[in-house]
Amino acid sequence: MIIDIRYHIITLVAVFLMLGLGILIGTTMVGNEALTKQQEQLADRLEKQLNVLRLENVKVQERCERVEAENAALTAFAREVVPFAIAGRLQNVRVAVFEVGGPASPELLNDLKTAGAVVGPVVTLVSGFDVAGAAPKISADLGWAEKDPTAVSDRLANELGRAVATGQNPNLVRYLAEQRLIRVTGDFALPVQAGVVIGDFGDERGARAGRFDLALLDGLVKEGVTVVAVGTGEEAGKGIEEYQKRKISTVADGETPWGRVGLILALSGYPGHYGGGAGEKHFLPPYPAGGAR
């Protein structure tokens, strides 16, 4: 549609230039009846062409308005259909939410509840989970041999995932909260069946797919938790490849209606990579041949 409008604009400009050129030539050759007649014929043709272009532009504008109205209607319909698509799909499933790349949206948390899930705990990283200056102390406190900050951070992320997955190591979760590396709301002493990781998919090739995210995912997967990594916002999905290498599902943009539905479906037994992001063939899982599960 944009190409059509640009084409007409360029055509109009060319027509006006031709008209101007014709007038210029005519004014330099006053008195020549043949040239004057040709000029009048040229002007008539240009005027007819301008009228045709005006009519075409009106049609293009009307078509644009119809498309915009249809898009607005489809967007509204998609939002309204979300609750019908997800209701009851996660009945009594305990889901942990990890706010790693950003906060979970109110819509995401509400969708989990609409699906029947028990949400908790919600674990939020504080200040990027920076252990650089505290790695030796943390290792000493936990009785670990690792001293390198990267190694300590990787193990903490992995152990945090396993602790939340099983509910069997609440002391580690409490310790990380006391060290102000994380904030936790909800019960973390009970096992969870599923996990949602709000990841950081911002840059190309997963440049910002933090080591923490991936180590956390590995810990959750190791304990048999169904995990979905979710991106948010317009730039979501560009660095999703690193996450897709794990044995998890991904949703490129969890803020879109199809991303919201894709998240719940992925958690409820339709693993895959959804949401319209890089490398994703479908917005949603294909509908099963035998009907709804």
Average pLDDT over residues 165-170: 96
Region 277-290: mean pLDDT is: 69
Q: Is the pLDDT of residue 207 over 50?
A: no
Residue 271, pLDDT score = 92
pLDDT of residue 19: 64
Reported as a pLDDT band with limits 50, 70 and 90, residue 30 is low
pLDDT at 3: 47
Say yes or no to pLDDT of 36 above 80.
no
Range with lowest mean pLDDT among 7-11, 190-194, 214-218, 275-279: 275-279
Decide if pLDDT at 39 tops 60: yes
Question: Per-residue pLDDT averaged across 7-16, rounded?
Answer: 65
Q: How confident is the model over 43-55, as a mean pLDDT?
A: 84
For 185-219, give one letter per residue: b (16+ CB within 10 A) or e.
eeebebebbbbbbbbbbbeeebebbbebbbbbbbb
What per-residue confidence (pLDDT) applies to 49? Answer: 85
Torsion of CA 250, 254, 257, 260, to 10 degrees: 70
pLDDT digits (tens, 9 = 90+) for 140-159: 999 999 989 999 999 999 99
**% of the chain residues with pLDDT over 70:** 79
Residues 6+ apart with CB under 8 A from 53: 8, 11, 12, 15
Query: Does the pLDDT of residue 258 top 50, yes or no?
Result: yes
Q: Does CATH place domain 90-274 in 3.40.50?
A: yes
Give mean pLDDT, residues 199-206. Answer: 55
Better-scored residue on pLDDT, 80 or 27:
80
What integer pLDDT is reported at residue 18 of this predicted model?
66
The pLDDT, as a whole number, for residue 204 is 44
Mean pLDDT of 192-203: 82
Q: Report whether pLDDT(276) > 90.
A: no
- Answer whether residue 229 shows pLDDT above 70: yes
Domain locations in the chain as residue ranges = 2-83, 90-274
Q: Is 138's pLDDT higher than 90?
A: yes
More reliable by pLDDT, 125 or 19: 125
